[in-house]
Amino acid sequence: MARKASLSGYLELLPAERFAELHVLDTLREVFEAHGFSPLETRAVETVETLLQKGEIDQEIYAISRLQEEERSGREAKLALRFDNTVPFARYVTENAGHLAFPFRRYQIQKVWRGERPQAGRFREFSQADIDIVGDGALPFRCDVEIVVVMARALEALRIGDFTLRVNNRKLSEGFYRTIGLTNTPAALRVVDKLEKIGPLRVAEELRETAGASAEQAELALQLAQIRTSDCTFADKVRQLAGDRPADLLQQGLDELTELMSELNARVPGRAVADLSIARGLDYYTGTVVETVLHGHEDLGSICSGGRYESLASAGKRVFPGVGLSIGVTRLLSALISSGELASSRSVPTVVYVTLRSDDDWGPAQDVADQLRRRGISAEVALSAEKFGKQIKYADRRGIPYVWFTDELGRHEVKDIRSGSQESVDPSSWAPPTEDLTPQIIRKTEGL
């Protein structure tokens, strides 16, 4: 990464690292499109009123204005930079519903901005990759299943290491709380969501203080949160804990999570665990909730999260339920690049550096380069006829693998400056090995 940052919280990459980032983005795009998700880009700016619909991060929003802005009229909306892709997407759906075919499937990879305190893994400007499926009035539960499977396949395609999708269903948690007589379920969900950060003793205390739980109810809520299974046996554990008085909502949550885990184990085996401590603190989640841990990088927290929402987007009586997941691309990349687990084989796209015998040869050298380019081989031409040794050193310093020579009779040779081998070639037919055509992504555990 660029080693000198004049502003903290903003990531700038060196060229080889940018190739690694582009590889990640292209891989995500390919997987998303293979499953029928359409690309979408929304504006960077929203009204403050729109962004504050999410409520709890108002202190992190960056407001924007002109340096020489005149006094704003009362009718003008205050503007701010988006802090995620979900809220702008909800606004986009309501404004363009007449032009969309539902269920609408989209992916969106864009930068967002938050006024956070910069620290490891936390940035003020960062990229997120989102996928959502949104319905008009209703959305089948199968969409929850599909979107989690798609994201698991996207993470597998990145080959970034072992990861686990931790899945739960808020209907299950909320239904359990109702079954045991705990009525302030939103508060209980927010408290349980902090279990890993503050520990069970503090969670029990906060359940009593903020959710009105008795000591027995707090203990039962903690026991529920400690259930983790890699199969569907979680359902029997929950029923045993709930006793013979399960609420209908609890049964619905059990059924949905059982279906989700069954499909995940069939389609992306070994990637998911039913973890009933996962709650997601945001109130708009209504069913499936997901967090993802990257093994060896647990300090990053969840690298991919999201879930089901029934009414994040609405227009009058028309409601657009949806389910979505988001990858924190910048957080993930910064960790993998810093640790050396993800890198690029070179920092330039150039495959061939075409040398000059004299400055008069620049035009013919461009003709050679154009022949190569037309066949998909990236080529650069020297800007001046320095000694061949200097031209070769320049190509080597740039990380260009091949150097091209043309003699006074128009005969061509190409040199692989890594091995030193040199051969006679024809610019209309020569091609390098496939792996040299583009910078290759290097993974620490796999090599090239």
Classify residue 164 by burial, with Cβ atoms within 10 Å: 0-12, 13-18, 19+. Answer: middle
Is 184 annotated in a binding site? The answer is no
The strands making up 422-425's β-sheet, listed across from edge to edge, are 379-381, 352-354, 402-406, 412-416, 422-425
Q: Is 285 annotated as a binding residue?
A: yes
- Please compute, for residue 379, the number of CA atoms within 13 A of its CA located in the half-sphere on the CB side: 24
Q: 236: annotated binding-site residue?
A: no
86 is in an annotated binding site: yes
Contacting residues for 156 by C-beta, under 8 A, at least 6 apart = 268, 271
Q: How distant, in Å, are the alpha carbons of 113, 129, 163 from that of 60?
A: 9, 20, 29
Residues with Cβ < 8 Å from 295, sequence gap 6 or more? 161, 162, 163, 164
Structure tokens at 28: 């995500």
Residue 244 assigned ligand-binding role: no
Any binding-site annotation on 94?
no
Place of tokens 């004299």: 358
Instruction: Considering only the C-alpha atoms of the chain, give the largest distance between any 2 of them, rounded to a whole number of Å.
Output: 93
> Rounded to whole angstroms, what are the CA distances from 40 to 92, 103, 402?
10, 15, 39
280 is in an annotated binding site: yes
Rg (Cα) of the chain, in Å, rounded? 27
Q: Which of 222, 287, 283 is nearest to 254 (CA)?
A: 287
Q: Which residues are annotated as a binding site for L-histidine?
A: 84-86, 114, 128, 132, 280, 284-285
Q: Which residues are annotated as a binding site?
A: 84-86, 114, 128, 132, 280, 284-285
